[in-house]
Amino acid sequence: MRIKLINPNTTQGMTDAMARCARAVASPGTEVMAVSPTMGPPSIEGHYDDALATPGLLMEVARGEQEGCDAYVIACFGDPGLYAARELARGPVIGIAEAAMHAASVLAPGFSVVTTLGRTRGLAWHLAQRYGMERFCRNVRATELAVLELETPGSAARATILEECRRALDEDGSEAIVLGCAGMADLCAELQDTLGVPVIDGVTAALKWCEALVTLKLNTAKRGEFARPLAKRYVGELAAFSPL
């Protein structure tokens, strides 16, 4: 099977790192195609970035349909464009926040999200509500790390994230941690070993969920809400996105 891992930001180093994590857990028969859009923000740290990352993300999903992709991972914790992508895709489309929260909800009575900037906390809470995870999500904690600080060699990011995870376990009543950024994927195993609780990275959780659904021959429902977009002609800069 072929699963397309889409990093909606345009930082290739992040795409490469999350691809390594995904390929490390992929089944032998799974090809992981990892891409970033050719246009958009270098990091997604708020609603405006999220909105303007979506066109490039959707272009990659449309290309994926031509490439015969069986499923898609939207590898950004805001799950940008998730439902629009489901209109374009035949196969499953899974967001990393969605996957990580659901995984945590069956492993622990409650979890905390540890994310980057405080301004993205509201987005994570909104997703928890959208996914029916309010009763499990005990807190969303910000490290105040910029997304690209996670890519900076020698930064104090690891220590900062570990410290916030410890606070979450001590103060939130949480028994699992959800990593609130795709850029944290390569820290997951080390954090779990150190903390001794389930630490869930959404990139690998979403990848394995996609594999399971494709193996079960389960695709996105096309009867109504996620049917293909209605044909119409867009004008201006977005003309190329016209649903045909």
Binding site for ligand 5HY (CB under 6 A): 9, 43-45, 76-78, 115-116, 120, 147, 181-183
Nearest to 53 by CA among 185, 147, 161, 155: 147
Which C-beta is closer to ligand 5HY: that of 57 or that of 181?
A: 181
Enter the tokens of residue 115: 């994310």
Which C-beta is closer to ligand 5HY: that of 182 or that of 199?
A: 182
Taking the complex as a whole, the smallest distance from the CB of residue 227 to ligand 5HY amounts, in Å, to 28
> For the chain, where are the alpha helices, taking DSSP H only?
12-25, 47-66, 82-88, 96-105, 121-130, 157-171, 188-195, 202-215
In contact, 100 and 79? CB cutoff 8 Å: no
Taking the complex as a whole, the smallest distance from the CB of residue 222 to ligand 5HY amounts, in Å, to 28
Which C-beta is closer to ligand 5HY: that of 152 or that of 215?
A: 152
Taking the complex as a whole, the smallest distance from the CB of residue 226 to ligand 5HY amounts, in Å, to 23
Q: What is the DSSP string of 90-124?
A: SS-EEEHHHHHHHHHHTT-S-EEEEES-GGGHHHH
Taking the complex as a whole, the smallest distance from the CB of residue 91 to ligand 5HY amounts, in Å, to 22
Indicate the SS3 state at residue 190: helix
Which C-beta is closer to ligand 5HY: that of 57 or that of 147?
A: 147
Q: What is the DSSP string of 193-210?
A: HHH-S-EE-HHHHHHHHH
Which C-beta is closer to ligand 5HY: that of 44 or that of 88?
A: 44
Taking the complex as a whole, the smallest distance from the CB of residue 100 to ligand 5HY amounts, in Å, to 10
